[in-house]
């Protein structure tokens, strides 16, 4: 699929302002007053919606995010992952900025290198970790507190994406080639709507569990410690309770099947491959819906829709 699971280089360290450094140090001191002081503060990512910072010498990453996002990730790290029988990043604390609408999360610094799913060794490691996550999390009592990702939700993505494309089809900024792509996507979406009962019937046979929902290379690192090689997964802001399909894309499905065999014996072979192919479909539907929302203001979204059109064609051919 166009760009969803390609390896991405780590973001360069950005120049740090005094105000940012002071804010990070102050937040860390308030959360852990007796913890080691960071030698330096590195900006790993910074946007209008927050930032991610490395506190060098402490083994800690600070993440500043909108309060709702930060509270949700705290739930995932502190109340769910920490209680599952698998190795996850250590959660060090949470701080609300109160009046600003932002909050801080402090997490173990995963370090390591990005987990490219083009590397077969990493694909197997990711498959084993995700399988253990899915099976163990299927029994957690937090399902009602998490966003739901089921077939009905992706059907809603289909509808919203189609409606937004139709609203913008006559936009004079689009070339005739752009409009041809938009009409092609609309045709595929119409076919999918007619076929959706098949998707519903297939998904009814799949388990529901905690899913990460955004497994790109940049959100998974391969780390080495005294216990050997391990996978560190972070950025859980899009996680939820739902079908495992999207998490399966790019994994070594034989390793996944072997790991879940005892709990989910039916999820193997052709059924598992169909689940991963369906995950590809769900990814594109969500991506089309998101890109179409910004069509009137961003030419970059039109470029993405060119990719998604090609992806959708391939996926429909694969799914038959």
pLDDT in tens, 160-209: 999 999 999 988 888 999 999 999 999 999 999 999 999 999 999 999 99
Task: Grade residue 226 by pLDDT with cuts at 50, 70 and 90.
Answer: confident
Place of tokens 């910072």: 53
- State the fold for domain 18-109: Phosphorylase Kinase; domain 1 (3.30.200)
Inform me whether the pLDDT recorded for 8 exceeds 60: no
Q: Which CATH superfamily is domain 120-319 in?
A: Aminoglycoside phosphotransferase (APH), C-terminal lobe (3.90.1200.10)
Task: Grade residue 107 by pLDDT with cuts at 50, 70 and 90.
Answer: very high
Question: CA–CA separation, 305 vs 294, rounded Å?
Answer: 11
Give pLDDT, residue 235: 95
Question: CA–CA separation, 184 vs 190, rounded Å?
Answer: 10
> Which ranges of 53-137 does DSSP label H, i.e. alpha helix?
67-74, 120-137
Least confident of 5-14, 35-44, 174-183, 217-226: 5-14
Of residues 36 and 253, the one with the higher pLDDT is 253
pLDDT in tens, 137-167: 998 887 778 999 999 999 999 999 999 999 9
All CATH 3.90.1200.10 domain ranges in the chain, comma separated = 120-319
Of residues 299 and 183, the one with the higher pLDDT is 183
237 close to 252: Cβ distance less than 8 angstroms: no
What does residue 265 show for φ and ψ, rounded to 5 degrees? Answer: -60, -25
All CATH 3.30.200.20 domain ranges in the chain, comma separated = 18-109
Inform me whether the pLDDT recorded for 275 exceeds 90: yes
Place of tokens 């694909």: 123
């Amino acid at each position: 699929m166009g760009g969803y699971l390609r390896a991405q280089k780590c973001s360069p360290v950005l120049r740090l302002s005094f105000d940012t450094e002071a804010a990070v140090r102050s937040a860390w001191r308030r959360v852990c007053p007796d913890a080691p002081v960071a030698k330096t503060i590195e900006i790993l990512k910074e946007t209008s919606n927050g930032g991610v910072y490395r506190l060098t010498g402490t083994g800690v990453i600070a993440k500043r995010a909108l309060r709702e996002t930060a509270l949700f990730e705290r739930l995932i790290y502190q109340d769910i992952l920490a209680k599952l029988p698998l190795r996850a990043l250590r959660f060090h604390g949470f701080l609300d900025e109160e009046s600003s609408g932002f909050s801080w999360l402090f997490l173990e610094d995963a370090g390591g290198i990005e987990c490219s799913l083009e590397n077969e060794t990493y694909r197997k490691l990711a498959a084993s970790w995700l399988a253990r996550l899915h099976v163990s999390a299927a029994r957690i009592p937090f399902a009602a507190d998490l966003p739901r990702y089921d077939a009905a939700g992706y059907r809603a993505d289909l509808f919203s994406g189609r409606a937004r494309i139709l609203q913008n089809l006559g936009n004079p900024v689009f070339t005739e080639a752009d409009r041809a792509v938009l009409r092609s996507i609309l045709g595929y979406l119409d076919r999918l709507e007619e076929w959706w009962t098949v998707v519903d019937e297939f998904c009814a046979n799949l388990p529901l569990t905690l899913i990460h929902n955004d497994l790109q290379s940049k959100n998974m690192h391969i780390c080495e410690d005294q216990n050997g090689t391990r996978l560190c997964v972070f950025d859980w802001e899009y996680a939820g309770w739902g079908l495992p399909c999207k998490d399966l894309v790019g994994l070594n499905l034989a390793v996944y099947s072997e790991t879940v065999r005892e709990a989910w014996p039916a999820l193997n072979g052709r059924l598992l491959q169909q689940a991963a192919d369906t995950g590809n479909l769900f990814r594109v539907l969500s991506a089309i819906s998101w890109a179409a929302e910004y069509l009137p203001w961003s030419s970059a979204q039109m470029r993405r829709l060119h990719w998604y059109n090609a992806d959708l064609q391939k996926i429909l051919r694969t799914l038959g």
